[in-house]
Amino acid sequence: KNEVEQSPQNLTAQEGEFITINCSYSVGISALHWLQQHPGGGIVSLFMLSSGKKKHGRLIATINIQEKHSSLHITASHPRDSAVYICAVRRASGSRLTFGEGTQLTVNP
Amino acid sequence: NAGVTQTPKFQVLKTGQSMTLQCAQDMNHNSMYWYRQDPGMGLRLIYYSASEGTTDKGEVPNGYNVSRLNKREFSLRLESAAPSQTSVYFCASVFNTEAFFGQGTRLTVV
């Protein structure tokens, strides 16, 4: 079993829909990252969370440390949100990141 | 991804050839990493360097070597490329809990 599990693996939505991507992990962490990767592009860090909730524009990320679970929400989704969203955790000891497999999001107009 | 520069962006190698992927960061970070990304799998750690002059193996180090000659640069070398090393490679630089990634290198070994 992977230490970081994401669901769903693939998600197709219509423009305007509210989207949720989930991440569960099984190790102690000091931080959790949500990353975005566009086709053929690099990886961009969206959020870094160690507790609670963060919001940036239409993106909201939450984390529940006790339940070892995080969610990424996109409100009023748009085709330009189509990308792979990756959850990564930084272990409590050390600086190494462990990645989930990613969620491929497609938002249709 | 301002701050992490990775070269080249694309490379095709023949089996047995060697090459070095270059990575540089200008953020004065101690920790740098090399990952590979394959379809259906998350990014996997090849090697990392916690500070200048130190390197450690990650999950998938076989067939690779690294060099951290100074704080700014962390290179990844394939001494004898194999088709199994066809992948997209990412360099990353980490400070505290912020992570920055290079643009990636798409490597094909034929």
- Distance CA(A5)–CA(A20), nearest Å, equals 14
Residues 51-80 of B with CB under 8 A from A: 58
A5, A86 contact by CB (below 8 A): no
Per-residue pLDDT tens over the stretch B38-66: 987 889 999 999 899 899 999 999 999 99
Smallest CA–CA distance, residue B22 to chain A, in Å, is 16
Residue B16, number of CB atoms within 10 A of its CB = 10
Smallest CA–CA distance, residue B102 to chain A, in Å, is 6
Per-residue pLDDT tens over the stretch A65-76: 999 999 999 999
Residue type, A67: E
Per-residue pLDDT tens over the stretch A49-97: 999 999 999 999 999 999 999 999 999 999 999 999 999 998 887 778 8
Q: Where are the beta strands (DSSP E) in chain B?
A: 4-7, 10-13, 19-25, 31-37, 44-49, 56-57, 65-67, 75-78, 87-95, 98-101, 105-109
B35, B90 contact by CB (below 8 A): yes
